[in-house]
Chains A and B, each alone.
Chain A
Amino acid sequence: MEFLEALRTQSFMQHALIMGLLASLACGIMGTYVIVKRIVFISGGIAHAILGGMGIAYFLGYHPLGGAILCAIASALLIGIISLRTRQNEDTIIGALWAVGMAVGLIFISRTPGYNTDLMSYLFGNILLVSRNDLFIIGGLDVGILALVFLFYKQFLAICFDEEQAQLQGVRVEAVYLLLLCLIALTVVVLIQVVGIILVIALLTLPAGIASHYARSLGQMMLFATLLGMAFTTGGMYLSYEPDLPTGATIVILAGAFYLFSTIFKEWKIRRSRSAAS
């Protein structure tokens, strides 16, 4: 097979494969929180606002990944604090930051001298351009995310399931929530390498969304979502290789197709058990 042959001989293919697996770990774990805490929109806002920071970093000549990490934390804290402090129009404000962040990024990138080839890879990702150096940074982010989730597992569970109860148990709900958003933002940085800012929300929600149909606990949901993410990124690479399709988009369509299939299957099962019961 040509795909396997390329994987064996081409280092960029190997990097891409490892990148996909590393990204799946982050998106499986943090995507689970996005789904159960129902913060898809907030996560989308954070993801898009990151482009502002990446654009500024690019303009100033810093490594865009470093700019993305800093900006991810900043936009998570900004959007998190806004969502905690405003009672009204939270979604309007997030929507505004979503678009304004992107606009800032576009302006800075357009003002940067030289070719703007990077813009497309920020927006749509390019898993085939991942360098060995990037892999170490992404691997480090993965380890950091994993360690913090391990440390805060119970508190994250508590604030997702019942915030008031968590507060009564002495959990500093707002601080833990902001930490959760920061970890989601870092996950977005990881995923931008694979599918780009525009499609990031798909990898954050679809594997965990499918996993939520079957998982009986949060830990199980993370495991299922991670495995599904690995299957989708690897499968997407395979499917896109020969026809030379955009890899990120192929991954997302594959994940979306499975999500649709799983939702229909789940609905069918519920209806069948209901009609059997009556």
Chain B
Amino acid sequence: MNDNQFIVEVENLSFRYDGESVLEDISLSVEPGDFLGIVGPNGGGKTTLLKVILGLYKPMAGSVRVFGELPHKVCSKIGYTPQQANIDKHFPINVFDVVLLGLLNESRYFCRYPARNKRNVERALQEVDLYELRYRRFGTLSGGERQRALIARALVGEPQLLIMDEPTSNVDSWSQNQIYEILRKINVRCTIILVSHDLGVVSTYVKHVACLNRRLVIHPTQEFTGETIEAMYRTPIHLVNHGMEI
């Protein structure tokens, strides 16, 4: 990877879902070491954009490059935490085994993992301060603990890019701060893109903010003011109020 290369480069991306336009003409470049927060209203296409960057969805127009390649070729360099709501809390699995799933691309067959994987999992769990709870059933954890377990799963493969979908929904405010402090440390070695509906918290931790409502506009955090948000959203008053409640 040469120095001037972007980690993520999206050009003129469009995406439709069942004939309805979700993303229109999106262009976005993410530099190494960035911490990008993508905010926007529900249904604004935030999760869809992440999934296109991850290679889970194919763009209908435009291009996506991650580390200069097509996304599915560089999966092993990307860590991903999905929205918690998508994960079944009744699933019989403990925290340790959840994190092990982040190393599946190293050994896919049979039941056992190589011994070094175990050490990697322990280190990832220590990093998110969840080591003591490693044998607890995933579904019995609190929202914040579950999110940290998912972060450990994303980190265990030592990614260079971490992509997170709503990491602080379903999480109390104390745990939110704990999670953002963890992300601040991780950001030293890993570029982060996160999606949130939570404007207030995002703007205090991230380096850039992108506003997404089908179209996308990027701001450095210091320029991120009420007017820029208002200019982006279709229903400005409601959303600014939402921002101020936090």
Q: Which residues of A contact B (CB under 8 A)?
A: 36, 38, 87, 150-155, 157-158, 160-162, 164-171, 212, 215-221
Contacts and interface: CB of A to CB of B under 8 A. Distances in A.
Given A155-B108, A155-B109, A161-B87, 8 more contacts: A38-B88, A154-B111, A161-B98, A164-B56, A168-B54, A169-B104, A215-B92, A217-B94
Interface stretch (B20-28, B78-86, B233-241): B78-86
A216 B94 contact: yes
Contact of B108 (A87, A154, A160): A154
Interface string B57-86: 000000000000000000110101010001
A164 B88 contact: no
A contact face: mostly helix, strand, loop, or mixed: helix
A143 B238 CA distance: 61
Contacts of A164: 51, 54, 56, 80, 82, 86
Contacts of B54: 164, 168
Contacts of B245: none
B44 to A, nearest CB: 20
A150 B101 contact: no
Nearest to B165: A164
B146 interface: no
Of the listed residues A152, A155, A169, A215, the one surrounded by the most CB atoms of chain B closer than 10 A to its CB is A169
6 contacts: A36-B88, A161-B87, A164-B54, A169-B75, A215-B92, A216-B137
B104 A155 contact: yes
A227 B97 CA distance: 24
Contacts of A215: 92
Contacts of A212: 90, 92
